[in-house]
Chain A
Amino acid sequence: MSEFVLELRGITKTFPGVKALDNVQFQLGPGEIHALMGENGAGKSTFIKVITGVHQPDEGQMFLNGKEVNFKNPTEAQKVGIAAIYQHVTCYPDLSVTENIFMGHEKIQKGTRRIRWKEMHEEANRLLKELGASFDAKTIMGTLSVAQQQMVEIAKALSTNAKIIIMDEPTAALSRNESEDLYRITEKLRDSGTSIIFISHRFEDMYRLASKVTVFRDSKYIGSWGVHDIPNEDLIVAMVGREIKQLFPKVETTIGSEVLRVEGLGKTGFFADVSFSLRKGEILGITGLVGAGRSEVCQAIFGVEPADKGKIFVKGVETTIQTPLQAMNKGIGYLPEDRQQQGLILSWGIDKNITLSSLSLISKKGWMNRKKEDEYANHLSKKVNVKTPNVANLVSSLSGGNQQKVAVAKLLMTGLDIIILDEPTKGVDVGAKSAIYEIISNLAAQGYGVIMVSSEMPEVISMSDRILVMREGRITAEIQAKQATQEAILEAAMASKESTEGQSLEASGL
């Protein structure tokens, strides 16, 4: 018998163009709550999917109670008692809670093959009661709140007699009280002998629950510590940990007049009371946890999902922006977070992608001028230094970093004044990152007003002139970059107890 319930050694997993996990290790003790921490894109989600059999690793070994295992699919992992509760709840919204709990392992009457509904309902209600849920097992899943759905997912894990439960950012969508409930449940599970891997961005979660913490960074294993054996500052360094200075080629710029101002921007269910301004030549960093509403604010300004409250001023003039085209005509450009889904057409060439957002420049009365398109595409792809022999090559053949450069090149074609970059270095390798920083820096130097949304603290601190921190749909701090520290930002990004209570009161008054 091994001293670990679950042990992984030398796990490597590569996707086309990206190394998602690089020689990673992990050890989970019995009855232990083990926090797995790291920045967005550190490889945590992929790691979870390897454990649960969704992905098969290219290299490495996995041991369950000392015995080597290889999962070909999620069902196999389920059978040996590994259950995962994902970030985005994966459920059947049209079916009852009972069915969601028992999907795949229904109780079947021997002989008649009939589903034993009564027994399943009873069992489901028992599990829910154990978790302190107040809803009935016959409720339709889609009518529950996210917190309640999460409880169902936990009940599901319990119903399979899971010995190892993985929670992937379970508190991200929960309120204070709901988080407390979750802590209570998690501790109860631990006390009954279940081992838990807990992924979270909140230090609060970690200190409240975990006894051990493992940190991943840039797809690599950094280290494991007892939660109280490592000072918080060291932990942050472990998570962030690169030589900040040489990576960020920030150019000093003169900051000019105001180009954009938003006042009291709000959208039901996403963000409220957002006000800030942006000036020429300035890089305004917006940071916060995933789900804090950063992208939503940017997309509202860009007209993808217009806000339903508040005002937007471009160069001092109040404007209404309902579509991306209107935003672009006002001089606002947006680099989406998800470049593969939102930013680029992967099955198209680099040239056609670059020109898509400004076809009017390469056409006359609607007629395309292919020669002009070629010129523009070649010029711009050279400008951002896309590494390709031919601009007609498909975007899907490029690496993540080069794809991102193409997405940036799209923005440079039209005469924009304001550029919003949403997680510009997400899923990009370190080398290409620094190239992208250089581009951003040059943009500001050329007089663009730049908004940079990012979850990576060093990136925000080093690149920005000013930093806005968002939490739960509101701006909680505005910090001059020169005075900014990671601790100050983290504090503003993660709710402290009192302020949250105050906030929820405020919101319910709305």
Chain B
Amino acid sequence: MVANNEQKGTLIENIAKFREVGLLGFIIILSVVIQWRNSSFLTLENINDMITNTAILSILAVGMMLVIITRGIDLSIGATLALSGMIAALTVGAFPNLSPILAILLGTLVGLVSGLILGAIISKGGVLPIIATLGMMYIFRGLTFMVSGGQWVSAHQMPESFKGIATGSFLGINNLILIAVLIYVAFYYFINHTRTGRQIYAVGSNPDSAKISGINHDKIIWLVYTIMGGLSGLAGVLWVSKFASAQGDTASGYELTVIAACVLGGVNIAGGSGKISGIILGSVLIGIMNNALPLINVSPFWQTGIQGSIILIAVVLNALVKRGVDMNALMRRRI
């Protein structure tokens, strides 16, 4: 019986592993099909475009993963991104000689503060994440319009050095990709090799036990929303630099794409599990689809619908797999 259980255990683990291999396989097949239909897909230029887009998406997905692991959700990140990007853009517009590094730090700081406030509302104020983040979405969006006076900041108002953040490269690698990889590595270390990182998983996996184990639940919740805010702020600067424009409605609705990337990457919406490798693959897949659908003559107006369907199908499939596993466990019980 014990041997049998062990086998079952590895089988389920295999399913979990299979998800990533399967995702990778799907990405490759999809790429081949798209390339076959339109040969301009796998050109250097297009690939570069895709990867840099995916870089921003995946940075946000890292933060969203942490939030979802704790059984939360953050719908305010599009607005946080816009606010940080706008403030950074306005600042470099006013001080063209400002170092791009400082601009990045400024944007990240704005995001951090936004996240700090949001985290306090959720952890200390006892407001459900969905309600709190909806409310903050409005507040941040409103603030973005107010600081900009409803105006755009366009390409010619930004110094070259600022636009260079997204277009420049270091050792031949695009800065955005470099930053994204740095984030992956840092967070991989954080969530796998530090006590606080593991506590995030513990809180999501079993909040009640976590309290008995002496984990400060509120602190962890506060922390993940603050991290999410900081990453949104960073992404805001990168976004504005890449598209060379800051608007009041920048990245409006982008939080949904980020959630789609997470769910697709195997982050369990019920909390407790999720991996960096998974969300990178999830982000890449979404990045490819957003880029490639127009290339194979799928109207861009289909994108929203397809994205929503992906989220729904992914969460429903996850639920069904979980049910199968539970049923197996029941069958094993001796009666």
Contact = CB atoms under 8 A, between A and B. Distances in A.
A432 B257 CA distance: 59
A145 B198 contact: no
Nearest to A103: B213
Interface string A478-510: 000000000000000000000000011001101
A507 B331 CA distance: 10
Interface in A112-150: 113-115, 117, 134-135, 139-140, 143-145, 148
Contact of B5 (A99, A103, A145): A145
Nearest to A133: B2
Contacts of B9: 135, 139-140, 143-144
A106 B202 contact: no
Interface in B284-335: 327, 329-335
Nearest to A273: B335
Given A91-B209, A143-B12, A270-B335, A75 B214 contact: yes
Interface in B1-34: 1-3, 5-6, 8-9, 12-13, 16
Given A113-B195, A269-B331, A74 B214 contact: yes
A92 B212 contact: no
Contacts of B201: 92, 94-95
B193 interface: yes
B205 A95 contact: yes
A129 to B, nearest CB: 14
B43 interface: no
A272 B335 contact: yes
A93 B13 contact: no
A148 B1 CA distance: 11
A268 interface: yes
Given A90-B206, A134-B6, A74 B212 contact: yes
A113 B335 contact: no
Contacts of A148: 2, 5
A54 B212 contact: yes
Interface in B199-258: 201-202, 204-206, 208-210, 212-215
B272 interface: yes
A473 interface: yes
B233 to A, nearest CB: 25
A144 to B, nearest CB: 7
A115 B206 contact: no
Contacts of B208: 90
Interface string A261-275: 000000011111000
Contacts of A257: none
Given A103-B202, A269-B331, A269-B335, A92 B194 contact: no
A272 B330 CA distance: 13
Contacts of A115: 192-195, 198
Contacts of A504: 334
Contacts of A472: 334-335
A92 B195 contact: no
A254 interface: no
A95 B195 contact: no
A108 B195 contact: yes
Which of B12, B205, B210: most chain A CB closer than 10 A?
B205
Contacts of B2: 134-135, 148
A157 to B, nearest CB: 13
Interface residues of chain A: helix, strand, loop or mixed (majority)? loop
A508 B212 CA distance: 38
A410 interface: no
B193 A114 contact: yes
B189 to A, nearest CB: 8
Nearest to B4: A145
B205 to A, nearest CB: 4
Contacts of B268: 94
B215 A104 contact: yes
A474 interface: yes
A134 B205 contact: no
A94 B272 contact: yes
A73 interface: yes
Contacts of A99: 198, 202
Given A113-B195, A115-B193, A145-B5, A92 B335 contact: no
B273 interface: yes
A177 interface: yes
A175 interface: yes
Contact of A95 (B202, B215, B335): B202
A94 B332 CA distance: 20
A474 B335 contact: yes
Contacts of A135: 2, 5-6, 9
A95 B191 CA distance: 12
Contact of A92 (B5, B8, B205): B205
Contacts of A474: 335
Contacts of B198: 95, 99, 103, 106, 115
A114 B212 CA distance: 23
A341 to B, nearest CB: 15
Nearest to A269: B330
A268 B330 CA distance: 7
Interface in A154-200: 175, 177
Given A115-B193, A117-B193, A140 B5 contact: no
A265 to B, nearest CB: 12
Interface string A68-81: 00000111000000
B6 A93 contact: no
B199 to A, nearest CB: 9
16 contacts: A92-B201, A92-B202, A93-B272, A94-B204, A95-B205, A104-B213, A115-B198, A140-B12, A140-B13, A144-B5, A145-B329, A268-B330, A271-B335, A473-B335, A507-B335, A510-B335
Given A103-B198, A134-B2, 17 more contacts: A74-B214, A75-B213, A92-B201, A92-B206, A95-B201, A95-B272, A103-B213, A106-B195, A113-B194, A115-B195, A140-B13, A177-B1, A270-B330, A270-B333, A293-B335, A472-B334, A503-B334
Interface of B: 1-3, 5-6, 8-9, 12-13, 16, 192-195, 198, 201-202, 204-206, 208-210, 212-215, 268, 272-273, 327, 329-335
Identify the 7 closest CB pairs spanning chains A and B, nearest first: A269-B330, A94-B272, A473-B335, A143-B9, A92-B205, A104-B213, A75-B214
